[in-house]
Amino acid sequence: MRISFLLVFIALAATAVAWVTVHAANQKPPAAGEVAPTFTLPSQDGSQISLASFRGKWVVLYFYPKDMTSGCTIEAHNFQRDLPLYEKQNAVILGVSLDTPDSHRKFCTKEGLTFRLLADQNHKVVDAYGSLGNFAGITIANRNTFLIDPAGKIARTWTKVEVRHHSEEVLAALAELKE
């Protein structure tokens, strides 16, 4: 009986991984000039954050795999370090992963993050932005960033982001686009 259950579980897990892998491969991130997919998601404090509430501002919408991991921490620290520069450019930063609001709260508290981290546990926003991924059989958000203009259109996209200098890249693009 245990062996049958184990075999069924393994088969279901393999099917789920295959579906996510195939589904992720078929995704296409929105391109520059397209209207940014709208959303409302819970943040680390439990409040509901809507993209529409940031009309009139630039939005740096970045997707990342997992709270409390090294690459995600570096990326978040760099955005936090540069937050005053973004604010001077009338820009907000929103991070999105599949983690829970509670995980985001702990991550923000531990790392001193003051911008919003949004929980997309149902993968709807990650999917809409073509950022659903798979790492070693685990469903994650791929490390992609979208710069959304004040009118709600995608101004620039970055896929497979390299975290160390990404915030500087986004700031440079923002300055270039605002000229």
> Which residues have a catalytic role annotated?
72
**Tokens, residue 163:** 């975290």
SS3 label, residue 78: helix
Burial of 84 (0-12, 13-18, 19+ CB in 10 A): exposed
Q: Do residues 150 and 57 lie in contact, with contact meaning Cβ atoms separated by under 8 Å?
A: yes
**Rounded Cα–Cα distance for residues 19 and 46 (Å):** 30
Distance CA 19, CA 116 (A): 30
- Alpha carbon of residue 11 to chain centroid: 30
The answer to whether the CB of 151 falls within 8 A of the CB of 177 is no
Q: Please tell me the number of Cα atoms within 13 Å of 104 on its side-chain side.
A: 25
What SS3 class is residue 55?
A: coil
